[in-house]
Every structure is written in C-alpha cells, then in structure tokens.
Amino acid sequence: MAIQEGLTNEENAKLRLQDLEALDEKRLEAQQRLECYQARLSNAFNKKVRTRIFQVGDLVLALRRPIITTHKTGSKFTSKWVGPNVVQEVYTSGAYKIVAEDGLRIGPINGKFLKRYYA
C-alpha cells in the first residue's frame, strides 16, 4: 500500500500512528455522546414513573398475577385487582407484605403491583 501511494515505510508508520491517536479521540467522543443519550433516556423514563409509597395499615389492591403468565385468569371482564388488602409490613426495597381481608397473608409483593384502595 505504501508503494502505491508513493509513501515510504516511515511516512506510512507516522500516518498509522496519527490514525490511531485520532481513533482514541473518536472513541472518547462516542463515549460522551452515549453518556448524554443515556442521561436523556433516564430523565424521560423518570418523568413517567410514579413512586407508590404505602404506610402500614393502608388499604391497597393487589394485581392478580397468574403463576404461569401465558394463562389468562378469568374472562375478559374479570377484575385485574384483588382486594382490599391491608399493608402489614414495609420493606426498604419497595416491597410490601400484605394481608387479605380473611387474614390470609400474601408474601412480599413489589409496590408496582399495588395501588391505593379508597374506601
């Protein structure tokens, strides 16, 4: 390739080193653009997300979740929510232990599967 362009081996080596140095700069620019994009994406997502905070004793509805997600529970018009349930314990990770009206304890459930019940 050096012979075709009329370059000596030394000139060709210098050009390759310059290309390698420019490559590091391009990688740095690409990394900065990626970080800016991820920050914008995170901000856009966080605008839509609402944190749901419940206290012990609050009445909540729990989302009816089948064990096998491909099987539907009930017909088209059955309610997706079960309850009202009472929050018994609050965990630090956003999970809640709830108790049904009949005293049946429902294990830890994520707060995104709960919504407030207004009585």
pLDDT at 2: 44
What are the sequence ranges of the domains in the chain? 2-48, 59-116
- Which tens digits make up the pLDDT trace of 39-98? 999 999 988 877 788 889 899 998 887 665 566 666 778 888 887 899 999 988 888 999
Q: For the stretch 59-68, what's the b/e string if a residue is b when 16 or more beta carbons lie within 10 angstroms of its beta carbon?
A: bbbbeeeeee
For CA atoms 6, 12, 14, 17, give the dihedral sign.
positive
Q: Are strands 59-63 and 105-110 parallel, antiparallel or unpaired?
A: unpaired
- State mean pLDDT over 22-29: 90
- 2: phi then psi, degrees, rounded to nearest 5: -65, -35
| CATH 1.10.1740 for domain 59-116 | no
